[in-house]
Structure 1
Amino acid sequence: MKQRPIPAMLVLLALPWLLSAPTQAADRAVLANQHAVGANAAGNDMHSRLYQTVMQYVQSQTQGYPGKVNIEIQPLDTRIRIAECAVMEGFTVQGARLWGKTHIGVRCLQSDTKPWTLYVQADVQVWGEYAVTGLPVSQGAALQTTDVVMQTGDLSKLPAGIITDVALLAGKQATLNLPLGTVLRPELLKSVPVIMQGQTVQLNSRGDGFVITADGTAMQTANVGQVVDVKVSSGQIIKGVAQSSGKVDVRF
């Protein structure tokens, strides 16, 4: 059966609809894409603010650390949506330490929706100097400045309580044999008395622009940095601080 041709008038009437249908679909796709981009941008902005809050919190809490602090924050999954929040604050769980690998909390304090709390992983590195033995030190031997060298590294990866100030080694001796390269910690050392009870010691009285020297008798045994009573010839008892040299400093 021979098909009848479509009247030209019907083609002309349908043409505007045929042309507009793809355009309307494209417009809907563009609008949907714009909405997704906008939502993603908002989410990324909240992620950025979250990281800034964590960074500011850690920086404020580590100002007194013995070295340069480097903070590495583990990024959250970009698919995690964070509700808008006007005010956020960082915190740590009670007892947690901002040292090495740890978790840092961020809580929302002001939001149009329900307040929230998130935790992020962070690595708080503390780069500084620490004392190690530059020579083998025998048990019972007093540490000399020539026995010790300072090395630089991430203190958070080393044992707790390492010595970072060589001045703390004054008047110390090894409690056991210390091989070359031993990282020095307080438990490896013990204080050596620098003043013995009954010993004659020199008192140095220091003030603004003057130093007065006198001899006296130590009333007790003392290590470096300890307060010791010294009896002078007049019978007066004067308190001072024991020095590594065996002298006693009195400050006014």
Structure 2
Amino acid sequence: MASRTRALGAGLALCLAATGGAAQTPSSLSPELLSRVQALALAGAQAGAPPEARIEVQLGQLDARLRLAPCAQVQPYLPSGMKMWGRSRIGLRCVDGQARWNVSLPVQVQVYARVLVATTALPAGTVLSQAQLQVADIDIAAESGQVFTDASLLDGRSLQRPLVVGEAVRSTDLKQRRWFAAGERVQVLASGTGYAIASEGQAMEPGLEGQDVRIRFENGRTVTGRAVGERRVEVLL
């Protein structure tokens, strides 16, 4: 175990220490590289942002204790599955150097857009009306959940948690709607590439908004789809 630990330590030192020439420190990252990182973070944030959104990217700093081996080409990249909203990170890897290394640079991404917020403090259980909402320019990347711009989509919806003045109404703040009960007849839309088929079946369980539900057809066949509206189920094939 001790020899293995020493080997791992030696490998880490090779990645973090120069093996000839001056070591690169976090503060010595070139302006050109930082510009590429900024552009990559901006592009990642734009992928999920409204067209009119204003995006601000603040680059953090690498651990000051790092001593990165000299590298002729550092490649910034988006880590797999990483969303460029809120607190996030950009990967930096050496692709042409004496020692290959891979580190992460923290970033803070703010996405400002005009969305619906509460005009007053709203307790949990409040049934929303348009009079309780107004449009404001806020950082929609600060929290998770879909935001809204159309007040009619929130009219009559109930809150499952309280909101403070100026806080955005998000999909995660709303109580789930029950679109139909078990045993009800529902419309089933099955769609795929280039086609769509509509049919009717019987719900085998309650249809909660956005949740999967099993449907039985008259021939006894069952499918699983998603409850998307009043007695409506969508199946993707």
> TM-score if structure 1 supplies the norm length?
0.50
Matched, 1:224 2:209: yes
Q: Which of 40, 56, 59 does residue 70 from structure 1 map onto?
A: 56
The structural deviation recorded for 1:223 is 0.7
SS in 2 for 1:49: helix
Counterpart in the other structure of 2:5: none
Matched with 1:124 is 109
State the one-letter code of the partner of 1:66.
Answer: A
Offset of 1:174 from its aligned partner? 1.4
What is the rounded CA distance, in whole Å, between the counterparts of 2:219 and 2:99 in structure 1? 76
Deviation of the 1:220 alpha carbon: 0.6
Tell me which of 168, 186, 190 is aligned to 1:202.
186
Distance (whole Å) between structure 1 residues aligned to residue 145 and residue 165 of structure 2: 16
- Structure 2: where are the runs of 5+ without partners? 1-28, 62-68
Alignment match, 1:49: 32
Deviations 1:36-76 (A, max 9, x none): xxxxxxxxxx843233332344245445343443335589x
1:88 to 58, 62, 74: 74
Number of residues of Structure 1 aligned to a counterpart in Structure 2: 195
Give distance in 1, aligned partners of 2:216 and 2:94.
Answer: 63
| Helix, strand or coil at the partner of 2:175 | strand
Take 2:158 and 2:59, find their aligned partners in 1: how far apart are those partners?
A: 41
Q: In the alignment, which residue of structure 1 is the partner of 2:41?
A: 58
1:164 pairs with one of 134, 138, 147: 147
Structure 1 unaligned spans of 5+: 1-45, 76-82
1:196 deviates by 1.4
SS at match of 1:88: strand
Distance 1:144 1:193, change over 3 A: farther
Q: Call closer, same or farther: CA 1:251–1:187 in 2, change over 3 Å.
A: closer
Q: Deviations over 1:3-27 (max 9, x none)?
A: xxxxxxxxxxxxxxxxxxxxxxxxx
**CA distance in 1 between partners of 2:79 and 2:197 (Å):** 51
Sequence identity percentage: 21
Contact 1:133 1:149 in 2 (8 A): yes
**Is 1:192 the counterpart of 2:169 in the alignment?**
no
1:222 Cα deviation from its structure 2 partner: 1.7
Q: Which residue in the other structure is 1:28 paired with?
A: none
Q: Distance in 1 between matches of 2:164 and 2:203?
A: 36
Q: 1:244 aligns with which of 224, 229, 233?
A: 229
RMSD in angstroms over aligned alpha carbons? 5.1
Q: Read off the aligned partner of 1:71 and give its amino acid letter.
A: V
TM-score for both structures, normalised by structure 2: 0.52
Give the Cα–Cα distance (whole angstroms) in 2 for the partners of residues 232 and 117 of structure 1.
54
Secondary structure at the counterpart of residue 147 of structure 2: coil
SS of equivalent residue, structure 1 residue 175: coil
